[in-house]
Amino acid sequence: MDRPYLAGLDLTGRRVVVVGGGTVAQRRLPALLDVGAVIDLVAPEVTPAIEGMAGAGEITWQARPYETGDLTGAWYVMALTDRPEINARVAAEADERHVFCVRADRGAAGSASTPASGEWRGLRIAVASESIGPGSEHGADPIRAAVVRDSLLEWLRSGAGDEILAERKQARGEQTRADMAPQKLPGVALVGGGPGDPDLITVRGRRLLGQADVVVVDRLGPRSLLPELSPDVELIDATKLPRGRFMAQETINATLVEHALAGKFVVRLKGGDPYVFGRGSEELEACLAAGVPVQVVPGLSSAVSVPGLAGIPLTHRGVAHEAVIVSGHLPPDNPDSLIDWTALARLHGTIVVLMGVANLPAIAQTLVAHGRDPKTGVAVIQDGSMPAERVTVSSLAEIGDVAVRENIRPPAIIVIGDVVNRRPQEPTTT
């Protein structure tokens, strides 16, 4: 197969036979499941992940060696064992039955190949390498194809593809971005952007961001992704500064609804996860009440990811069997607070406090007053995951004074518990 002919296969509801149950099959099966193929897998043994797929009814597993006749009724075949003689038998039967077959051990010996593929705004991008001849330095190379695929997708997601297409459409007197997307997405997407590092947003979140007509973003979202937006994407700042400028939540809700009802696809880009003190549920309720379709894309919550990036586990065997996440935006003695600080003080595990920098001295004093050991470790992680990240470590008895002396500012995550002592790095402050 020196020059493969690239074509898209509709395998939805069609029988696909996979021979082999090792890690190669484990890598190939998800793509087949994603397109709705009916998968029969033949192998005496399989990896635990594949066994789990079979147990969940996602595939049918024939726990035996391959036999002639197994390809009856198949539309597509993958020979993925580590034994060339078996793969050759499978490929030979596939040829007899006029069924395309992929051979993992010798790609050129099969009648089909699997290109390196990816997706961008409803388009499937596929890169396949050719076998030009024995010994050729440009022979079939799946790694090279994957590198080209990744580079192309990165370029497209940067917005460069939009700009070039828009320029060409304008030169022909056609409409620009409105007609460029293969499929117009409806309504609103509440996207959790993670703690701030742009590499920590989910793949789905980044894909939806690239399809947005309007982006409503707060200051804790991954701001370095904003330059990648197409110039005609409307950007709305929904920042809420502590004790400073802010966009009221009611205004944010109304903005999402207004633009969605105008026929635009709106991405609400939030820091962390939309449902962990992100008021995402309020935004979802407002959209649903207005009849606006809405989807939620979870994100890495800063409550978990930021301590992890700083080397602090929230739980550790023999140290902490519980982790509690609370909001510290109200002091413990505030009558509107819904937190039972007395009960928290009796816990032996980890307490993670979000939005608590201003009230940290009062929180620490309250916990100590109700029984928490004053020597308990405390870490305050400012600007977590970002280049300016700073970790301040102290004890519960002293953290209030240390925070003032070190001029700790939000956004910061506060971790209270013996897990702080598991951080491998040297503390910045003691």
For the chain, the average pLDDT equals 87
Strands ordered across the beta sheet of 350-354: 323-327, 350-354, 412-416, 377-382, 390-395
Alpha-carbon distance 331 to 342, whole Å? 13
CATH topology of domain 184-300: Cobalt-precorrin-4 Transmethylase; domain 1 (3.40.1010)
Amino acid at 204: R
- What is the token pair recorded at 232? 């005609």
Q: Is 184 a catalytic residue?
A: no
Q: Rounded CA gap, 145 and 127, in Å?
A: 6
Give 11-23 pLDDT, tens digit per residue: 999 999 999 999 8
pLDDT band at 274; cut points 50, 70, 90? very high
What pLDDT, on the 0 to 100 scale, is given for residue 133?
Answer: 41
In this prediction, residue 132 has a pLDDT band, given cuts at 50, 70 and 90, of: very low
Tens digits of per-residue pLDDT, 20-48? Answer: 999 889 888 988 998 899 999 999 999 98
Going from N- to C-terminal start, the domains of the chain cover: 15-114, 184-300, 303-422
Q: What is the pLDDT of residue 165?
A: 67
- The answer to whether 288 touches 188, Cβ cutoff 8 Å, is no
Annotation: CATH topology of 15-114: Rossmann fold (3.40.50)
Say whether 218 is catalytic: yes
Residue 370: other Cβ atoms inside 10 A: 15
Is pLDDT of 89 > 90? yes
- pTM (predicted TM-score): 0.72
Task: Please answer whether residues 79 and 91 qualify as being in contact, where contact means their C-beta atoms are separated by less than 8 angstroms.
Answer: yes
- The one catalytic residue in 218, 264, 273, 383 is 218
Rounded Cα distance, 78 and 102, in Å: 5
303-422 to CATH, choices 1.10.645.10, 3.30.43.10, 3.20.20.100, 3.30.950.10: 3.30.950.10
Residue 115: its pLDDT value, please? 83
Catalytic-role residue among 105, 141, 169, 240? 240
